[in-house]
A and B are shown apart, each in its own frame.
Chain A
Amino acid sequence: MSRPGAEGGDGRPRTVEVLTAWFETRAGGLLVPLAAAILAFLAGGLVVLFTGNNPLGVYKAIFDGTGLTYLFPWVQGSERATAARNLQQTLLVATPLMLTAIAVAFAFRCGMFNIGGQGQYWIGLIAALVVGTHVDLPPALHVPACILAAIVAGAIWGGVAGVLKATVGAHEVISTIMLNWIAIFGGKYLFELGGPLQGEEEFIPRSNDVTASAKLPAIWGTLQPLHAGIFVALAALVVYHLLLNRTTLGYEVRAVGFNPEAARYGGISVSRNYFLAMAIAGTFAGLAGALDLLGWKFRVATNDFDVGMLGFIGIAVALLGRNKAVGILFAALFFAALQVGTSTRQLDPTVFPPALAVNLATIIQALIILFVGAEILIVSLWGARRYVRRGRRVRAQPAGGSGGAA
């Protein structure tokens, strides 16, 4: 994109101006999320400060809990071992987050807001659990069978919201929230004492473990190790990118998301794409549930349903990652680190109580969602005057000016 303002005196653009122009066109995608994250941490720091804690100390403790110190070569000995364990947890949490974020992002690109990731995640997990505990298969088949069950279940749960939107125009925000609660209470019912899927232990409201043949192999660590599911999640990011940008389906989904009326006039079935986009979104969220179950949870208890937040954090991940595969990858790592760094197990309670830190993480997530959503705020903070000046110069130019106002 050549900008009229970026031309030098001899008509050829100067290197500096080319670079600035490139930065401004390209880096907008990076700038807004970064600025949003920084603003959110600053605001979170203020909350910490006002309640009588040292924000720098708190953030340092959270950072130490994320395990990212493992990447520093000077961290050695027992510290390094702890950092490795923490980093395994961060990657463990990032795995489902990438997938629940795709579930949000895919629906977003079709013009829908899928808040149902949490419910789709649970339904996928439950389906995988049923196959993992009630079916006997050789290891080579058992894991794929569980995953297949999960993605079908997730697709159905997401698809219901899609069908409701496509046929009776029910807003997907309402219907997916209702489907979340149905999945949560329905799930609790299945595993409660006397529930249909309660495990062998009579007085514990939880399921049996999935059989050994249905467990994903561990790849790093010993105590709650990182499992092979992260490769599946990374592959899903590639699939998401290709599906959206290299297939007819993806084209239609994006067309509907961009302008449903125009898509309809272009011969694209809007309602079909609403359904498909939600069903595919549910597929990814269901997969997240399956990977969590087969990778490290192995079973589910009723109180898990009360605390599950991965589907909701996936919304923040998708927004911060701007619905792009690469963006989702880094945003998922970021939020997973935040999640792990503030968890009871990783955060040093003498520095900051984890019960507070969990809520601090929620505040930071909320602010990031808010700031990324209000792009205009950050763009206007970022050199508002320069944009205005350039706009004037473009308008003042004669009609023959190349490029025009982009």
Chain B
Amino acid sequence: MSTGRTMLAHGRTALEPRRLAIIGIALAALAVWTALPPWMIRWEGVPVALGLLAAAAGLAAVTRGERRLGSWALALAGVATVAAIWAQTKDESSLGAVLNTGLLAATLRFATPLAFAALGGLFSERSGVVNIGLEGMMLMGAFFGIWATIWSGSWVVGVLCAMVFGGLLAAVHAVFSIHLRADQIVSGFAMNFLALGLTGYLFISIYGLQGTPPGVDRIPDVHLGFLHDLPALGGLLGPVFGQLNLLIWVVLALVVIVHVVIFRTAIGLRIRAVGEHPRAADTVGISVSRVRYGAVILSGMLAALGGAYLSVGFVGSFGQNMTAGRGFIALAALIFGKWKPIPTFGACLLFGFASGLAQRLQAEADISANLISTLPYILVLAALVGVVGRSVPPAAVGRPYVKQ
């Protein structure tokens, strides 16, 4: 409905409301920037004035039909004004401790597990199977990844084993939601519980209450020393990309690969066909259940990679329920990214940025860690509102297919 109205408005007034909204967003960004180095303006009037202008532009865009970008401009105007006024109370050094190249590296670090799970979920949902069990599949990957790493002494074995067990849990989900036609949300939810109980049980019975031993073989970082020596950009690229975990590079490549596979290959076409119109796909000879099984199992393997990144790559240990809701945030990123790989990765970066910012703010600024921890979740809610009427899932998602 709203999409239709937006498109009508586009037709009449060209790009004008859209441009207004973009101006609003730019003004909001400017409001924050004035409080940061090198400007360091210490007078509330500046961000308030800029914030009001941004809000006005956003409002004008909304009333002229650009609801999505316009409401983003409105929301950002509010957030930016508050953030700028808060930033004005801090001096240059403490601001520098929060906002630096390290924050960008942290963004990538936090976004990586989300991106693995979200890209996994993309396969599953594109094929028409809702997978809210991503969280559990990550948890399987996290536990079995570290278990196999400790057992074999090699992270390679750990990562492979993580993928196997993530794929196994996904296969259970696939059997129940494809073959037995159970409610996919209920089945996925059960997967999360199952993984929570299973990994918790095995964790305690294998490692006891003291947890996994120290000195676990970790997934190595990739050192790119030459980035620091680059002229001009070396100061930026070096600290951000110079020392990243191998799996971060894997996920960056994976985004491109998934994009190509989904939109440029016959397999991708089949997956999409099965998710949009299974009957039509069946008619032309595609096995709906086989494609769905493949997509769901692949989603479990990818989500498990995200889990393995957390345990084997990031901290080198396991804790009960260590994924802490990341699978669900990945799901939100998928919706936010409209079931497309590149925008989904963008959403993961956004949530990663929120987590990174939260972590830094609680370390540097005098803000409650718990209060800051709500930020990513509020952001997801805001994102859900922000994509008003624009996020259309694959048509057959959640519906079992009965062959005739």
A residues at B contact (CB < 8 Å): 47, 51, 113, 115, 164, 168-171, 173-175, 177-179, 181-182, 185-186, 188-189, 192, 194-195, 302, 312, 315-316, 319, 353, 355-356, 358-367, 369-370, 373-377
Contact = CB atoms under 8 A, between A and B. Distances in A.
Given A113-B185, A115-B189, A174 B204 contact: no
Contacts of B181: 374, 376
A171 B388 CA distance: 12
Contact of B186 (A174, A194, A359, A373): A373
Residue with the greatest number of chain A CB neighbours at <10 A, chosen from B183, B185, B209, B374: B374
B290 to A, nearest CB: 20
B193 A170 contact: no
Interface of B: 132, 176, 180-183, 185-187, 189-194, 196-198, 200-202, 204-205, 209, 320, 325, 328, 331-332, 335, 368, 370-371, 373-374, 377-378, 380-381, 384-385, 387-389, 391
Contact of B325 (A113, A177, A316): A177
Lowest 9 A-B CB distances belong to which pairs? A362-B197, A366-B193, A363-B197, A366-B194, A359-B200, A359-B201, A373-B186, A370-B190, A374-B182
A194 B183 CA distance: 45
Contact of A174 (B193, B328, B371): B328
A181 B384 CA distance: 15
Contacts, number: 144
A351 to B, nearest CB: 14
Contacts of A174: 328, 331-332, 335, 380, 384
A169 B387 CA distance: 10
B197 A365 contact: yes
A73 B176 CA distance: 43
Contacts of A164: 381, 384-385
Contacts of A175: 381, 384
A179 B377 CA distance: 8
Contacts of B389: 168-169
A186 B197 contact: no
A11 B330 CA distance: 61
Nearest to A169: B389
Contacts of B388: 168-169
A262 to B, nearest CB: 17
Nearest to B367: A189
16 contacts: A51-B201, A113-B189, A168-B384, A170-B381, A178-B328, A178-B380, A179-B381, A181-B374, A185-B371, A185-B374, A189-B374, A363-B197, A363-B198, A366-B191, A369-B186, A369-B189
Nearest to A168: B388
A182 B374 contact: yes
Q: Interface on chain A toward B: helix, strand, loop, or mixed SS?
A: helix
Nearest to A315: B189
Contacts of A171: 335, 384
Nearest to A47: B201
Nearest to B375: A185
Given A173-B185, A175-B381, A360 B201 contact: yes
A192 to B, nearest CB: 6
B197 A370 contact: no
B59 to A, nearest CB: 18
A375 B181 CA distance: 9
Nearest to A43: B194
B142 to A, nearest CB: 15
Given A51-B205, A373-B176, A373-B183, A186 B370 contact: yes
A356 B202 CA distance: 8
A367 B194 contact: yes
Contacts of A377: 176, 180, 182
A188 B193 CA distance: 24
Given A168-B388, A174-B380, A178-B380, A358 B200 contact: yes
Nearest to B181: A376
B384 A373 contact: no
Nearest to B334: A174
Contacts of A47: 198, 201
B82 to A, nearest CB: 18
B314 to A, nearest CB: 20
A290 B362 CA distance: 32
A362 B196 CA distance: 7
Residue with the greatest number of chain A CB neighbours at <10 A, chosen from B176, B193, B194, B388: B193
Contacts of B391: 169
A206 B377 CA distance: 24
A406 B202 CA distance: 46
A189 B368 contact: yes
A13 to B, nearest CB: 32
Given A173-B185, A174-B335, A355 B209 contact: yes
A370 B182 contact: yes
Contact of A195 (B197, B325, B331, B368): B368
Contacts of B328: 174, 177-178
B370 A192 contact: yes
Nearest to B199: A359
B174 to A, nearest CB: 12
B190 A373 contact: yes
Nearest to B331: A174
B134 to A, nearest CB: 12
Nearest to A358: B200
A347 B384 CA distance: 44
Contacts of A115: 189
A216 B373 CA distance: 34
Given A169-B389, A366-B190, A374-B176, A182 B196 contact: no
Contacts of A373: 176, 182-183, 186-187, 190
